[in-house]
Amino acid sequence: MNYRPLGKAGVKISEIGFGCMSLGKNSVAESVGLIQKAFDLGINYFDTADIYDTGNNEQLVGSALKSHRPKVVIATKVGNVIKSDGGKGFDWNPSKEHILKSVEGSLKRLQTDYIDLYQLHGGTIDDPIDETIEAFEILKQQGKILNYGISSIRPNVIKEYVKRSGIVSVMMQYSLLDRRPEEEITDLLYRNDISILARGALAQGILINKSAKDYAGLTADEVKAVKQKIQKMAGSNATEDIALGYLLVQPVVGSVVVGFRTAEQLQAALKTRPDEAMINTIKSRAPVSFYKEHR
């Protein structure tokens, strides 16, 4: 396992991270076993959120990693609120009051007295951004979090946090089928020593075994054409290796966060070895689009 800096945080994280949201479909015993196996294989970055499985995901992660606590980097998120009336979706609350209150629940469920990386779970340009930043800075001063970041694909929001805050990371969708971050975000973050935590590397499975569909500003036909080019150039190499490898050659990427549900998926991802020459060839033939929405 290779380890990369988490922005300017002064800590290194595994280049393949564990996105724990996917564990909801497994039994508790299976999930704990998979987390333990990931740790044994060198993964030290584990990502969850306070809303995943209504808080049970944090509790699961905390229990599984309790004995390894000093050796792991635990990331969780705040800002989305489960609707009290049981309705679909979530309410959004990036207020200082909510963040300062919510961290206590996350700490309790994670069975820890500090969170390595506390992330705003979304955000819009109309949020009280300075108030949100103040909450994170207070938590840092209190020692309840060590660092903070945001989870967002909105360029305008990301730019404001780069300019006004001490974020060390941005979690965002990024893949060979979604190269929109390269248009205006990747260089900005790299210059400011802020890591991308890349999610969606396999583009919802489209890059490996799912049918082409409209995705990230590309039509289904465009997606199919890109996928065929990648498969043709990959040859005997697994498409998954190319998809993960593409992100691993990007210097701004701190970790590619993958949602594992089986030991086989875990083992396959950890075998990825980027073929930089092949990836550069594929890169030249995959389109870069612009964030027309999500500003």
Residue 52 annotated to the active site: yes
Angle at 189 between CA 185 and CA 190, to 5 degrees: 115
| The pLDDT value given to residue 66 | 94
Domain parsing of the chain, residue ranges: 3-203+250-273
User: Phi/psi at 284 (nearest 5 deg)?
Assistant: -70, -15
Residue 53 pLDDT level (bands cut at 50, 70, 90): confident
Higher pLDDT, 154 or 233: 154
Distance CA 58, CA 68 (A): 15
* Mean of all residue pLDDT scores within the chain: 90
pLDDT at 16 > cutoff 70 = yes
| The pLDDT value given to residue 166 | 96
Q: Which two tokens stand for residue 171?
A: 């979690």
| The pLDDT value given to residue 248 | 92
Cβ contacts of 241 within 8 Å, gap of 6 or more: 234, 271, 272, 273, 274, 275
The CATH architecture that domain 3-203+250-273 belongs to is Alpha-Beta Barrel (3.20)
Sign of CA dihedral 140, 171, 133, 60: negative
Give the model confidence (pLDDT) of 228-245 as tens digits: 877 777 665 567 888 898
* DSSP category for residue 102: H
Q: Range with the lowest mean pLDDT among 11-15, 117-121, 206-210?
A: 206-210
pLDDT at 24 > cutoff 80 = no
User: Phi/psi at 195 (nearest 5 deg)?
Assistant: -85, 145
Q: How far apart are the first and last CA of the chain?
A: 35
Distance CA 194, CA 186 (A): 9
| The pLDDT value given to residue 194 | 98
Higher pLDDT, 29 or 226: 29
pTM of the entire predicted model:
0.92
Higher pLDDT, 140 or 268: 140
Q: Which two tokens stand for residue 77?
A: 């998120």
| The pLDDT value given to residue 286 | 67
Task: Kindly name the residue from 52, 118, 161, 215 that is annotated as catalytic.
Answer: 52
| The pLDDT value given to residue 188 | 97
